[in-house]
Structure 1
Amino acid sequence: MGYYDEEAGAAAVATPKQPANTVTIPCHHIRMGDLLMLQGRPCQVIRITTSAATGQHRYLGVDLFTRQLNEESSFIANPSPSVVVQTMLGPVFKQYRVLDLQDQSVVAMTETGDVKQAIPVLDQSNLWTRLREAFEGGRGSIRIMVVADGGREIAVDMKTVHGSRL
């Protein structure tokens, strides 16, 4: 039926299979300090560059676990003619309830009720100090946002839940 092959058209816009525990983020939403998956590792973005020739974004980040530098370019897709979408993969965050603080690490309860011991805390933005002050203040339930990678976990942010949302 003419020159258009439906199967070939669908294959032309197919994107690579997305790894587990990742979410797609449009490049125009990504800022310095955000967390991305660079070369399969959870990293904090420290530099963003854009190619003058192609407009493609390139990200440099520090691995949250090993402190090594990783760099990767954005994924480009053309879902329809004259439409270009650039995306990156970001980690999926888990939210745990803080039960106790011990030796610069957290004892927390998962969504399923399991207790996790000795979750390390990211050493940035006074996270440990904010966590300790909120926990000792005793107002509300303290939650940590956790990034997992290969069986290891690290707390990257926290929030206090008050009142009826406990």
Structure 2
Amino acid sequence: MMKTTDTSPPRSARLADWLWAVAQELRQRTPPVERDDAVLLAMRQQFAVRQKAAKAGRWRWALAGPALCASVLVACVWLLGSAPPGESGATVMGNPGSGFIVLVSADRWAAFEKAGTGNAWLVPAEVPRERLALLGLPYDPADAAAPVRAELLVHASGDVLAMRVIP
């Protein structure tokens, strides 16, 4: 039989014979039982550590879902609570049936009402139909290029205070 520690096999030996001899020698060698037990114990400990880390990660993700739902709910309530432009309740000269949509902030509108209506003009205009969506009014996207007749309440400073759509 050939020794495995010999690095240079005789030239007459074939490679297959040499590999077969090495395989037979490896089959005869077995590791001690203590080593097998130590390897199994180390694998079990490592598996337990990984399971513990996986449970901690799952707990974090379990909290992410309800937190996301709560934040979406808060955002929806906030958006529904904020009034879109034109629904602030302010009307021109206290007349609720005037049909004007207020385009400025409530503070600016209050200052205009306090100063009186003598420093503003009613100006006829044509507004692009797509602007109606920005005011919270319904519009058809197919007719977005068509102009809409409107009346603008313009302050003496040039600021547009309110708008009324004329049918």
TM-score range, shorter chain: under 0.3
Q: Larger radius of gyration, structure 1 or 2? A: 2
Higher strand fraction (1 or 2) = 1
**Which has more helix, going by share of residues?**
2
TM-score, normalising length from structure 2? 0.27
**TM-score, normalised on structure 1?**
0.27
